[in-house]
Amino acid sequence: MEKVIPLNLGFTKIYLLRTDSGYIQFDTGSKHNVKKYLRFLDDYNILPEEIKLIIINHAHFDHTGALKTIQKLTNAQVLVHENDEEFLVKGISAEAQPLTFLAKVLISTVPKSWTIYEPVEPDIVIQDEYSLYDFGLKAKVIHTPGHTLGTVAVVTEEGDAIIGCSAHGFPIRLRSGFPRVAMDEESVWKSWERIIGEGAEMIYISHGKPFRAERIKKKLRKRQSKIEKQTKK
């Protein structure tokens, strides 16, 4: 079985990372997707109690809505960045800043009731990075702000990077690239640089298909070239 297992819950993908002692889960999906989630576990012959840790990419309802239910089912620890901890504890979604008309339309169609979920007290609150060695995975969680101020990613020593909404693909945009929703655009670019600097080779996102890290590297090079040209003027 592959080490990175995508579970396509519809609008949002979550991921399971296979370790020597069980599984680490990246996000939970919305509160409407629990039955579908459990069917996936059954398909992969994974018992809920084999999931030892749940990492929250960021505190938006489509990533955290099912967290309370899944936490109870798995008894897993929950990890979040300190900048998004407050939203998790209150059971609300962090602010979202659409950068395009389509993103604005998508956000406006979401019922207010969907953005509220059962509050969860996290077990692990990080500031910058966190090693996953104690959970049996040669990887670490890193702070990648931009989409929200508390967005995080997981980068393994093998070069797999699960970055959630630090990039967007279909249906938010046709071709995977810069997120269409971001609280701080400049921070997204810096987070991309850090993800690449950590040795990322394959990128896994919450909305869209995985892609090679070269796509991000190319966009970073193009941006740097543009900045250099402007500086020379």
Report the interhelical angle of 185-197 vs 214-232 (nearest 10°).
Answer: 120
Kindly report the average pLDDT of the chain as a whole number. 95
CATH of the domain spanning 4-232: 3.60.15.10
Over residues 146-167, the mean pLDDT reads 98
For 125: left if phi > 0, alpha if psi spans -120 to 50, otherwise beta; the answer is beta
Domain coordinates in residue numbering, the chain: 4-232
User: Over the stretch 50-103, which tens digit does the pLDDT of each residue have?
Assistant: 999 999 999 999 999 999 999 999 999 999 999 999 999 999 999 889 999 989
**Radius of gyration for the chain, computed over Cα atoms and rounded to the nearest angstrom:** 17
Show the DSSP H helices in 76-209 as ranges.
82-90, 101-108, 185-197
Instruction: Say yes or no to pLDDT of 230 above 90.
Output: no
Over residues 127-151, the mean pLDDT reads 97
